Amino acid sequence: MAGTDASDRRPLSRRIADDLRAQIARGDFTPGAPLPSERELIELYKTTKATASKVIGMLVAEGLVYTEFGRGTFVRSRPPLRRISAARRHAAHRDAGKPVFDVQAIEQGQVPTREILFVGRGAVPSHSATWLRVATGTEVVIRRRLQLLDGDPAVLSTSYYPLWIADGTLLESPDAIPEGPDELIEKLGHRFSHGIEVFRAEMPSQEEAQLLRLRPGIPVVHMWDVDYDEQDRPLQVAHDIYAGDRHEFSYEWNEEDIRR
């Protein structure tokens, strides 16, 4: 117990949190190891339950530790992240006749599954509407599904298809599309000419946290993937929400890219 002497201007909870954080950084608690219980913290730092509980809450919010009800508080371990490479969509699936997600999963020795959450017509939300170049709320075909790896939720994926493409096609059918929506769109006579992928980090909404089974303190990565045809018409907007503690994203470049 260090750094908690006296006349310190930091609040007690902050001092305790800093102390524990330093101990974790020093390796006193290795990943997976239990922190002192709240009752022990009360003893150690001469405080009360509310404060001890708050301290743990701070570390949880930082993503440094997690709690298990009835068991204890543990240092979070950082499992290896699944690498997602961008602008990957078409290159990858062209080889396989399978959805990109499945191809990448199988490459990495994991079993992909999916739960269809919604298929049907609906109003396109604001951000995706901008990418589709339609007004917010325009009716489109929506496919929403949760994609899992070895049974663990990995990506919450929502795709928006304009009616001029999806109307009356299998895209409106609630069944899974074996070859994936991209291949289906090509079969319908459209052609992916160019696209853009846009990312940002956020904290999950309640619903996202629940569906992706995210522990507190874990951010998500939102990705919008927009595909256009030769006439620069948006064919689809895919909005994927990745569990932040299980994914990273990579992009490669070489001299050809620079000097074009």
Partner DNA sequence: AAGTGGTCTAGACCACATA
Partner DNA sequence: ATGTGGTCTAGACCACTTT
Residues that bind DNA (CB under 7 A): 11-14, 35, 37-40, 46-51, 53-54, 56, 67-73
CA dist., res. 63 & res. 143, Å (int):
31
69 binds, among DNA, its own copies, none (CB under 5 to 8 A by kind): DNA
The least CB distance from residue 51 to its own copies, in Å, is 11
Q: Which residues contact 202 (CB under 8 A, 6 or more apart)?
A: 219, 220, 222
The least CB distance from residue 77 to DNA, in Å, is 17
11 binds, among its own copies, DNA, none (CB under 5 to 8 A by kind): DNA
Q: Report the residue number, 48 or 136, with the smaller CB distance to DNA.
A: 48
Among 62, 68, 115, 150, binds its own copies (CB under 8 A): 62
CA dist., res. 144 & res. 186, Å (int):
20
Take residue 35 and report the two structure tokens written for it: 């922190």
Q: At what angle do helices 12-26 and 49-61 cross, to 10 degrees?
A: 50
Q: Report the residue number, 48 or 173, with the smaller CB distance to DNA.
A: 48
Contact between residue 235 and residue 228 where contact means Cβ atoms under 8 Å apart: yes
Among 12, 18, 117, 186, binds its own copies (CB under 8 A): 18
The least CB distance from residue 188 to its own copies, in Å, is 18
CA dist., res. 54 & res. 168, Å (int):
54
- Give the range of 55-63, 98-106, 117-125, 179-187 binding its own copies by CB under 8 A: 55-63
109 binds, among its own copies, DNA, none (CB under 5 to 8 A by kind): none
Contact between residue 17 and residue 55 where contact means Cβ atoms under 8 Å apart: yes
Query: What's the gap between Cα 126 and its chain centre?
Result: 20
CA dist., res. 165 & res. 178, Å (int):
19
49 binds, among its own copies, DNA, none (CB under 5 to 8 A by kind): DNA
The least CB distance from residue 147 to its own copies, in Å, is 18
Q: Report the residue number, 17 or 142, with the smaller CB distance to DNA.
A: 17
Among 6, 30, 70, 253, binds its own copies (CB under 8 A): 253
Take residue 58 and report the two structure tokens written for it: 């701070």
Contact between residue 15 and residue 22 where contact means Cβ atoms under 8 Å apart: no
122 binds its own copies (CB under 8 A): no
